[in-house]
């Protein structure tokens, strides 16, 4: 029998809450993940939750997913970082290999260098009770940083002989230094001159490689070279120190040289030794042995530093192996390393008395918590075989064990001492799979190849049931008695067997159980029986029907090796790939793959049990896999948000403060990260830009957002994040920025604009008014000038008018006088009236005062001459011409006594031609006259006519049909008017022109005939509605219409007609019409 | 019968290659097996110099190739002064201090390359230190300094790696400390650092047994045109000969008890860029500790490498010098 101190019971008793144990997974960060070097000297987490990793080739900052490197180029004093510390003010300090110091503050580094001596590397940074920072150099003394003055003070003299690895301050004010010579005492060198004691004799005078103050500052821990670990308290004794604990190899510390000490928040001490091993110690329940942490994953790399982050994750910085994160705390593995006889655990039983029975390939281990001891039984102690495949506790508290090839045995604990016995029939050569007991006390044993045994030890009776008795198969993997005293048998081959009330029931295809091979049973808190199959998943039997859970339901595998139920009613399904948990309430399947959680250990057949704490224990090929039910499955620490980049139109801007931007159109880019080192990949984000959007965004994994086309407004960017367990940051992180409103939208600008506009308008108006006034004045001046000018002109015109009027009056007087002359010269109309009383009329309408048209009469006994002459021109010229014509006519008639009109006209022509000839220039005036002359010889009843250009109209009823009308010289117009044209020549020819005689027409007339001679003034008068000439045609028709009227009436009509026609028009020529009836 | 070398050239060449390979396997053990030196020796500073140590100090440098990323250890065999190996002078009263240096100045500081411990010969950053007295726990046992991150050494690009310095100094007493060193990748075993080497500018060592030639390998760089050999307290115990591709056992002067002596030797162009071989043949039957160093024409010390750079030199026995045809 092997009895050892039950060191790992500490796990269950002392560490149950902390859930620390062996075999946890580590996640490694190394060069491949971006570390600058695999030598990690120091770890520290800043207030923003960034994890700073000091290495020999740079300082790395880790946000859970990205490692950012900082070097001298980024402001560090040196690339080689050997120590770090976050002080009480939140600043992070870094000590370097060359003795320089960097401080990260506000996103940049401040460096310090003491140049008085060549410095060695800084081993530790310590903040004393007065908040002074001490930088402990290896062999260059101490550097004290005074926070207020920000001055570095080097303390070297007296310390140069020591290698210093750490320091703490005693409550009394002095310091303790860990040196290569041991622990020495140093007074406060700032208060007085430095004094160093001899190495304290209570401690080994060896190299003290670690000196860590306890978290509550009640003492310190020491790691020595060759003398193990010490825990000390400050005391009031003369030495001021009490040694509480010394842990060495005798206490299963793997080496007496301690390299690393770290106290976590649970008060557990992590101890790293020079051989690369890691140990755990709980000082409050220390029983003389330490727990080993399996760091085989670290491949023997020495652990340089241990660190616990704000989420309680444990980090290991190694020397050459990089950085390791303790991945989870849900599972632990106990194996040979902790004292099991074999890693292959075949059966587990949690006894009613609290004993843990572990059946392995190398024997049976019994853990007795009350005695705090463990015992391993093997064949040497009387076991029939070392491969313990089945364990069961009967109603009497006796433990039944089954072996792989050597049958049954029983163990009873008498005063804590195991006593092995055997049942009456120990089935000595059987290979036992499973053991159970029904309510009648029968022990039921399932075997590998011999079917089922029913044992009644009290009556020494054994019954065997095999295929021949109705068993489905002789390989009975598990026997199970449920709370209803039903016996369930899992066999390989055939349906599920159940015995109840001495009857066997089969559950196969007809019960919708497709499986053919079964391995395991369990009963949940509701009384449902769960059946694990080999290849078909798990069936849940509620007493009525079976419900299947398989891979399609989410199980890791359909090949089930064990089923167990925890205290919450969850069902745990053990497979080679890991564990699947079917949750009691939701039937949701949660998987725990072995590769991720327990080092790919393979769960063994029916080696599973739940302890009173709710923890589950599974036997595997690598030891006992323990599920820690009270472990902190949920990370309640919200992530820490950091906005890493704030870019405005692509340009980086500081994040602090409120950014005021001038008006414009902006694109805002924000990059951020919420740090949750526990599970950084599962961190999610929500954001909102107040002023732009009214609601939070959807949940996203993205670590950046862009807002485009932002214009004036007040914006507040709010960001929140949740860790992998959905715990959100309590308050969103806020970043504010304002984009100014455009100038023209500000109230003051509007007022200003109104004022300015009003001013401009007023000014404009004033200017306009001024301009108008000036213009008006100018105009007035101009008007005055013009008026004056007009006045002058008026006066001038008036003067001229006066002159003209005078002239006019003179001329008019002259012309009037000339008219008198003309009137006196031209024979009066009474001559014609005398010759033809009431048989004639004359319409003479001179255009001016004197007339160019003139009548001429001469009455003799034989004949009466009637002339209608139209001199060239009118007015005064015509009047002068009329006088010439009058004289010519008088000369022809009275001097030459001519009577024939033709002859008279010849004479007149001759007279006028010669009268108008100018001797002075040899040219003759082209003036003359047109005229028609009639000689009426009433006696002969003939009328002679001669005309110069002017015709004679003869009006007679039906003239055209009369003989006269057919005369060749008479051209009839319509029926009643006949026209005899005058010769086509005027009176007054040019010299040299052919001088022919005027034609003398002789026309016999009848009573009632009317004759008309006239000038062209009547027919040429403009007027009428269209302003046209009256024309001869209309004149003829007018005469036709009136020729039979009395002569006076005719004159009146003719006069009225031409006046009507003329209207407002001016008279264009002199008018002369003479009508007569011979 | 006329002897011709030709049939034996190929086997000889193969043997040389094999020897070089074997030497590389000896790497980091100081003294190396190829040096045929039993132990390095350092006396307590109260010992008479005539016992074989002129300055009670041994300085050794270790070169870790730049590409080595794993941690290295410097191991000391029998580091204490007492027990079975060390040289007792009346009672054991000696304390021996071992100090490991790295970082800037470790080797580059001129004082670090001097043969005497003067000035700033402890240049660099002290990485670790330990003082031993007579401690039976370490009698014929290894003590390990480290682990050391290779980058904690001083980078010397001309040598292609990081350099650590180990100073062994007798701080008190008058006994002689005999010890060996090893540059290892393992804390508990001697596992060589691939490509690693050890070198010093002054050798203080105990001669091997009578008839066995201790062999030192100074490296002659391209600047050396003449060298001066200095030895101390040889007690005229035999011969010191110089071998190179052009020198086949040139005799060097030898010192007597508690005396320095020196001899000068020309260096031909063909000897540059190679290691020479100084063989010290002991002829008398007593333990003899001595000091030896070599300087160049500027009195600058020439390093001795535990693993000779370019391999162990072999005298050119009239082998035809092959020169390219003129074009």
Q: Do A120 and B126 touch (CB under 8 A)?
A: yes
Q: Do A98 and B103 touch (CB under 8 A)?
A: yes
Q: Give chain B's radius of gyration (CA, Å).
A: 20
The CATH number of whichever domain residue A939 belongs to comes to: 3.60.40.10
**Residue A7 lies inside a defined structural domain of this protein:** no
Could you report the per-residue pLDDT of A716-740, keeping only the tens digit for each?
A: 999 999 998 888 999 999 999 999 8
Instruction: Indicate the residue among A744, A777, A812 that finishes a domain.
Output: A744
**Same-domain pairing of A492 and A409:** yes
**Same-domain pairing of A553 and A674:** no
Highest mean predicted confidence (pLDDT) among A598-607, A651-660, B42-51: B42-51
pLDDT tier at A862, thresholds 50, 70, 90 = confident
Q: Is A421 exposed, middle or buried (0-12, 13-18, 19+ CB in 10 A)?
A: exposed
**Same-domain pairing of A975 and A832:** yes
Pick the residue with more confidence: B237 or A36? A36
pLDDT tier at A328, thresholds 50, 70, 90 = low
Could you report the per-residue pLDDT of A418-477, keeping only the tens digit for each?
A: 899 998 888 888 999 999 999 888 899 999 999 999 888 777 888 888 888 888 888 999
Whether B28 shows a pLDDT value over 80: the answer reads no
- Adjacency order of strands within the sheet including A122-127: A122-127, A133-137, A142-146, A151-155
Calculate mean pLDDT across residues A850-855: 86
pLDDT of residue A383: 93
Least confidently predicted of A187-191, A296-300, A567-571: A296-300
Instruction: Indicate the residue among A606, A627, A648 that finishes a domain.
Output: A627
Q: Where are the beta strands (DSSP E) in A283-379?
A: 291-293, 303-308, 314-318, 323-326, 331-334, 345-350, 356-360, 363-368, 373-377
pLDDT tier at B327, thresholds 50, 70, 90 = very low
Q: Which residue of A has its CA nearest to B101?
A: A120
Cβ–Cβ contact A319 with B under 8 A = yes
pLDDT of residue A337: 67
Could you report the per-residue pLDDT of A132-146, keeping only the tens digit for each?
A: 999 999 988 999 998
Calculate mean pLDDT across residues B92-119: 94
Q: Do B151 and A301 touch (CB under 8 A)?
A: no
pLDDT of residue B1: 37
pLDDT of residue B8: 44
Calculate mean pLDDT across residues B262-275: 90
**Residue A385 lies inside a defined structural domain of this protein:** yes
Cβ–Cβ contact A156 with B under 8 A = no
Could you report the per-residue pLDDT of A227-259, keeping only the tens digit for each?
A: 999 999 998 877 789 998 999 988 888 899 999
pLDDT tier at B22, thresholds 50, 70, 90 = very low
Cβ–Cβ contact A139 with B under 8 A = yes
Q: Do A98 and B104 touch (CB under 8 A)?
A: yes
Q: Are strands A659-661 and A733-739 parallel, antiparallel or unpaired?
A: parallel
Could you report the per-residue pLDDT of A47-71, keeping only the tens digit for each?
A: 999 999 999 999 999 999 899 999 9
Q: Do B151 and A163 touch (CB under 8 A)?
A: no
CB A865 within 8 A of CB A855: no
CB A521 within 8 A of CB A488: yes
Backbone angles phi, psi at A880, to 5 degrees: -60, -40
Q: Do B71 and A118 touch (CB under 8 A)?
A: no
* Helix ranges (DSSP H) in chain B: 6-26
Alpha-carbon gap: B204 to the closest alpha carbon of chain A (Å): 26
CA distance A108 to A102: 10
Q: What is the ipTM of this complex?
A: 0.82
**Same-domain pairing of A597 and A526:** yes
Q: Do A301 and B126 touch (CB under 8 A)?
A: no
Could you report the per-residue pLDDT of B169-198, keeping only the tens digit for each?
A: 999 999 999 999 999 998 889 999 998 999
Cβ–Cβ contact A301 with B under 8 A = yes
**Same-domain pairing of A831 and A781:** no
- Inter-CA distances, A253 with A1, A174, A300, A815, Å: 24, 31, 16, 164
pLDDT of residue A323: 93
**Same-domain pairing of A583 and A464:** yes
Whether A40 shows a pLDDT value over 60: the answer reads yes
Percent of chain B at pLDDT > 70 equals 87
pLDDT of residue A297: 66
pLDDT of residue A640: 93
Pick the residue with more confidence: A415 or A390? A390
pLDDT tier at A165, thresholds 50, 70, 90 = very high
pLDDT of residue A659: 83
**Same-domain pairing of A130 and A188:** yes
Pick the residue with more confidence: A678 or A263? A263
CB B273 within 8 A of CB B310: yes
Range of the domain at A683: 640-744
Cβ–Cβ contact A590 with B under 8 A = no
Q: Do A139 and B152 touch (CB under 8 A)?
A: no
Structural domains in chain B, CATH included, are 36-204 (2.60.120), 207-317 (2.60.120.380)
Q: Do A39 and B149 touch (CB under 8 A)?
A: yes
Instruction: Indicate the residue among A568, A595, A627 that finishes a domain.
Output: A627
**Residue A27 lies inside a defined structural domain of this protein:** no
* Chain A residues close to B95, C-beta within 8 Å: none
Max CA pair span of chain B: 73
Q: Do B71 and A319 touch (CB under 8 A)?
A: yes
Contacts of A15 (CB under 8 A, 6+ apart): A21, A268, A280, A282, A291
pLDDT tier at A25, thresholds 50, 70, 90 = low
Q: In angstroms, how far is CA A207 from the centroid of its own chain? A: 64
Neighbours of A106 (CB within 10 A): 10
The CATH number of whichever domain residue A156 belongs to comes to: 2.40.10
The CATH number of whichever domain residue A551 belongs to comes to: 2.130.10.10
pLDDT of residue A974: 86
Question: HSE of A14 in the Cβ direction (CA atoms, 13 Å)?
Answer: 23
Whether B25 shows a pLDDT value over 50: the answer reads no
Could you report the per-residue pLDDT of A812-829, keeping only the tens digit for each?
A: 777 777 788 877 777 777
Least confidently predicted of A318-332, A655-669, A1036-1050, B188-202: A318-332
Could you report the per-residue pLDDT of A397-422, keeping only the tens digit for each?
A: 899 999 999 999 999 988 878 899 99
Closest CA to A192 of A173, A211, A207: A173
**Among A35, A39, A121, the residue to mutate for chain B (most B Cβ within 10 A):** A39
Please name the residue that has the structure tokens 């010769």: A983
Whether B7 shows a pLDDT value over 60: the answer reads no
**Same-domain pairing of A751 and A837:** no
- Coil/strand/helix, residue A813: helix
Q: Do B147 and A319 touch (CB under 8 A)?
A: yes
Q: Which sign does the torsion angle of CA A804, A807, A813, A819 carry?
A: negative
* Chain A residues close to B147, C-beta within 8 Å: 302, 319-320
**Residue A99 lies inside a defined structural domain of this protein:** no
Could you report the per-residue pLDDT of A988-1023, keeping only the tens digit for each?
A: 866 666 667 888 888 888 888 899 999 989 999 999
Q: What is the mean pLDDT of chain B?
A: 86
- Inter-CA distances, B200 with B22, B30, B112, B203, Å: 21, 10, 10, 7
Q: What is the mean pLDDT of chain A?
A: 86
Q: Which residue of A has its CA nearest to B68?
A: A320
- Coil/strand/helix, residue B23: helix
Pick the residue with more confidence: A21 or A945? A945
Q: Do A121 and B70 touch (CB under 8 A)?
A: no
Least confidently predicted of A596-610, A738-752, A908-922, A1030-1044: A908-922
Q: Are strands A51-55 and A58-62 parallel, antiparallel or unpaired?
A: antiparallel
Overall number of domains in chain A: 5
* Chain A residues close to B141, C-beta within 8 Å: none
**Residue A259 lies inside a defined structural domain of this protein:** no
Alpha-carbon gap: A10 to the closest alpha carbon of chain B (Å): 31
- Inter-CA distances, A781 with A768, A774, A777, A784, A785, Å: 19, 10, 6, 5, 6
- The model's pTM is 0.63
**Same-domain pairing of A882 and A804:** no
pLDDT of residue B139: 94
**Residue A317 lies inside a defined structural domain of this protein:** no
Calculate mean pLDDT across residues A495-500: 86
**Residue A300 lies inside a defined structural domain of this protein:** no
* Chain A residues close to B69, C-beta within 8 Å: 38, 320
Q: Chain B: which residues have CB within 8 Å of chain A?
A: 69-71, 103-105, 123, 125-130, 147, 149, 151-152, 187-188
Q: In angstroms, how far is CA A915 from the centroid of its own chain? A: 114
**Same-domain pairing of A1005 and A916:** yes
Residue A832 structure tokens: 């014609």
* Chain A residues close to B126, C-beta within 8 Å: 120, 138-139, 163
Q: In angstroms, how far is CA A658 from the centroid of its own chain? A: 21
* Chain A residues close to B130, C-beta within 8 Å: 180, 207
**Residue A594 lies inside a defined structural domain of this protein:** yes
pLDDT tier at B253, thresholds 50, 70, 90 = very high
* Helix ranges (DSSP H) in A522-582: none
Least confidently predicted of A374-378, A527-531, A870-874: A870-874
**Same-domain pairing of A762 and A715:** no
**Same-domain pairing of A768 and A876:** no
Cβ–Cβ contact A361 with B under 8 A = no
* Chain B residues close to A118, C-beta within 8 Å: 105, 123
pLDDT tier at A338, thresholds 50, 70, 90 = low
Helix A875-890, helix A901-916: angle, nearest 10: 130
Could you report the per-residue pLDDT of A341-365, keeping only the tens digit for each?
A: 999 999 999 988 888 899 999 999 9
């Amino acid at each position: 029998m092997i009895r050892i101190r039950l060191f790992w019971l500490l796990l269950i008793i002392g560490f149950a809450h902390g859930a620390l144990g062996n075999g946890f997974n580590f996640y490694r960060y190394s060069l491949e993940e971006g570390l600058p070097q695999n030598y990690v000297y120091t770890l520290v987490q800043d207030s923003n939750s960034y994890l700073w990793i000091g290495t020999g080739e740079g300082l790395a900052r880790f946000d859970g997913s990205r490692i950012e490197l900082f070097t001298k180029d980024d402001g560090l004093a040196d690339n080689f970082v050997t120590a770090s510390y976050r002080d009480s003010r939140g600043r992070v300090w870094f000590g370097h290999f060359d003795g320089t110091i960097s401080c990260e503050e506000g996103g940049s580094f401040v460096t310090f260098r003491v140049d008085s001596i060549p410095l060695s590397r800084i081993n530790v940074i310590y903040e004393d009770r007065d908040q002074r920072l001490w930088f402990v150099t290896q062999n260059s003394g101490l550097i004290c940083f005074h926070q207020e003055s920000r001055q570095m003070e080097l303390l070297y003299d007296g310390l140069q002989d020591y290698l210093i690895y750490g320091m703490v301050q005693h409550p009394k004010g002095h310091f303790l230094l860990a040196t290569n010579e041991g622990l020495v005492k140093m007074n406060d060198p700032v208060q007085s001159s430095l004094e160093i004691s001899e190495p304290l004799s209570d401690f080994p005078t060896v190299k003290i490689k670690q000196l860590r103050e306890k978290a509550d500052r009640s003492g310190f821990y020491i790691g020595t070279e060759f003398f193990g670990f010490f825990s000390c308290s400050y005391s009031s004794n003369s030495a001021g120190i009490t040694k509480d604990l010394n842990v060495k190899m005798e206490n299963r510390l793997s080496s007496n040289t301690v390299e690393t000490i770290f106290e976590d928040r649970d008060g557990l001490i992590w101890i790293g030794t020079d051989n690369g091993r890691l140990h755990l110690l709980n000082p409050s329940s220390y029983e003389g042995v330490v727990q080993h942490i399996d760091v085989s994953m670290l491949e023997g790399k020495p652990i340089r530093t241990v660190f616990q982050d704000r989420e309680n994750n444990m980090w290991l910085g190694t020397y050459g192996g990089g950085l390791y994160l303790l991945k989870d705390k849900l599972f632990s593995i106990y194996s040979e390393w902790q004292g099991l006889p074999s890693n292959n655990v075949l059966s587990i039983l949690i006894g009613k008395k609290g004993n843990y029975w572990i059946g392995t390939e190398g024997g049976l281990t019994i853990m007795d918590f009350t005695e705090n001891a463990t015992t391993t039984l093997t064949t040497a102690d009387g076991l029939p075989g070392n491969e313990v495949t089945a364990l069961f506790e009967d109603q009497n508290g006796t433990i039944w064990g089954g072996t792989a090839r050597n049958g049954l045995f029983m163990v009873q604990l008498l005063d804590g001492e195991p006593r092995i016995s055997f049942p009456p029939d120990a089935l000595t050569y059987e290979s036992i799979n499973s053991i159970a007991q029904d309510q009648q006390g029968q022990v039921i044993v399932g075997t590998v190849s011999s079917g089922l045994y029913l044992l009644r030890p009290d009556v020494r009776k054994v019954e065997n049931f095999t295929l021949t008795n109705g068993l489905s198969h002789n390989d009975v993997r598990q026997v199970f008695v449920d709370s209803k005293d039903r016996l369930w048998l899992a066999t390989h081959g055939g349906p599920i067997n159940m015995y109840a009330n001495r009857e066997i029931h089969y559950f196969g295809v007809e019960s919708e159980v497709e499986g053919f091979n079964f391995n395991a049973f369990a009963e949940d808190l509701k009384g449902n029986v769960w059946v694990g199959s080999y290849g078909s998943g798990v069936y849940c039997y509620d007493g009525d029907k079976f419900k299947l859970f398989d891979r399609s339901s989410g199980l890791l595998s359909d090949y089930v090796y064990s089923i167990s139920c925890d205290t919450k009613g969850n069902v745990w399904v053990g497979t080679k790939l890991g564990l699947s948990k079917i949750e009691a309430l939701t039937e949701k399947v949660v998987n725990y793959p072995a590769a991720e959680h327990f080092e790919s250990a393979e769960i063994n057949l029916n080696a599973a049990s739940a302890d009173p704490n709710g923890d589950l224990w599974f036997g595997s090929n690598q030891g006992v896999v323990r599920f820690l039910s009270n472990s902190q499955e949920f990370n309640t620490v919200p992530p820490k948000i950091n906005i890493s980049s704030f870019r405005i139109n692509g340009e980086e801007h500081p994040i602090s403060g409120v950014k005021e931007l001038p008006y414009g159109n902006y694109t805002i880019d924000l990059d951020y990260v919420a740090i949750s080192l526990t599970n950084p990949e599962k961190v999610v984000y929500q954001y909102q830009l107040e002023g732009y959007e009214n609601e939070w965004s959807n949940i996203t994994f993205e670590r950046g957002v862009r807002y485009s086309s932002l214009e004036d407004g007040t914006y507040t960017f709010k960001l929140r994040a949740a860790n992998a367990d959905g715990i959100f940051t309590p308050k969103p992180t806020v970043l504010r920025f304002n984009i100014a409103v455009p100038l023209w939208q500000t109230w003051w600008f509007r007022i200003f604009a109104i004022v300015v506009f009003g001013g401009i308008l007023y000014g404009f108006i004033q200017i306009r008014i001024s301009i108008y006034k000036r213009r008006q004045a100018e105009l007035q001046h101009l008007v005055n000038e013009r008026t004056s000018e007009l006045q002058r002109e008026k006066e001038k015109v008036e003067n001229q008018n006066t002159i003209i009027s005078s002239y006019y009056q003179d001329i008019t007087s002259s012309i009037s006088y000339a008219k008198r002359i003309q009137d006196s010269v031209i024979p009066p109309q009474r001559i014609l009236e005398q010759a033809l009383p009431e048989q004639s009329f004359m319409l003479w309408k001179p255009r001016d005062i004197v007339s160019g048209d003139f009548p001429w009469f001469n009455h003799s006994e034989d004949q009466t001459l009637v002339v209608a002459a139209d001199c060239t021109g009118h007015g005064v010229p015509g009047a002068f011409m009329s006088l010439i014509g009058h004289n010519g006519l008088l000369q022809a008639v009275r001097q030459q006594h001519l009577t024939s009109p033709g002859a008279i006209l010849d004479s007149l022509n001759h007279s006028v031609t010669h009268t108008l000839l100018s001797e002075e220039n040899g040219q003759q005036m082209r003036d003359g006259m047109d005229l028609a002359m009639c000689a009426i010889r009433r006696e002969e009843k003939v009328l002679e006519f001669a005309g110069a250009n002017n015709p004679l109209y003869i009006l007679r009823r039906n003239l055209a049909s009369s003989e006269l009308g057919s005369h060749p010289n008479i051209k009839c117009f319509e029926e009643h008017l006949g026209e005899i044209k005058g010769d086509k020549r005027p009176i007054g020819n040019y010299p040299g022109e052919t001088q022919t005689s005027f034609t003398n027409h002789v026309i016999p007339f009848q009573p009632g005939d009317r004759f008309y001679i006239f000038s062209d003034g009547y027919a040429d008068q403009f007027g009428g509605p269209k302003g046209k000439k009256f024309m001869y045609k209309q004149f003829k028709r007018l005469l036709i219409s009136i020729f039979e009227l009395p002569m006076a009436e005719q004159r009146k009509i003719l006069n009225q007609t031409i006046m009507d026609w003329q209207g407002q028009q001016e008279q264009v020529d002199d008018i002369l019409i003479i009508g007569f009836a011979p | 019968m006329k002897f011709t070398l030709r049939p034996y050239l190929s086997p000889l060449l193969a043997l040389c290659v094999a020897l070089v390979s074997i030497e590389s396997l000896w790497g980091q053990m100081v003294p190396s097996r190829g040096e045929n030196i039993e132990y390095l020796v350092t006396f307590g500073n109260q010992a008479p110099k005539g016992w074989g140590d002129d300055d009670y100090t041994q300085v050794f440098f270790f070169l870790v190739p730049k590409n080595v990323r794993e941690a290295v250890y410097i191991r000391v065999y029998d580091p204490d002064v007492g027990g079975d190996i060390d040289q007792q002078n009346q009672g054991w009263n000696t304390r021996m201090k071992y100090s490991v240096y790295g970082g800037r100045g470790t080797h580059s500081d001129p004082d670090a390359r001097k043969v005497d411990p003067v000035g700033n010969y402890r240049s660099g950053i002290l990485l670790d230190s330990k003082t031993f007295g007579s401690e039976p726990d370490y009698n014929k046992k290894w003590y390990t300094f480290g682990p050391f991150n290779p980058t904690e050494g001083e980078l010397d690009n001309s040598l292609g790696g990081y350099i650590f310095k180990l100073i062994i100094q007798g701080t008190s007493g008058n006994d002689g400390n005999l010890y060996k060193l090893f540059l290892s990748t393992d804390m508990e075993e001697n596992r060589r650092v691939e490509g690693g080497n050890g070198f010093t500018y002054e050798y203080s060592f105990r001669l091997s047994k009578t008839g066995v030639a201790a062999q030192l390998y100074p490296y002659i760089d391209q600047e050396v045109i003449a060298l001066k050999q200095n030895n101390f307290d040889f007690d005229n115990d035999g011969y010191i000969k110089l071998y190179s591709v052009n020198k086949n056992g040139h005799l060097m002067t030898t010192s007597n008890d508690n005396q320095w002596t020196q001899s000068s030797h020309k260096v031909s162009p063909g000897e540059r860029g190679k290691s020479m071989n100084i063989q010290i043949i002991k002829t008398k039957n007593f333990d003899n500790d001595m000091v030896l160093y070599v300087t160049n024409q500027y009195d600058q010390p020439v390093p001795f490498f535990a693993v000779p750079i370019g391999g162990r030199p072999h005298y050119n026995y009239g082998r035809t010098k092959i020169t390219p045809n003129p074009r």
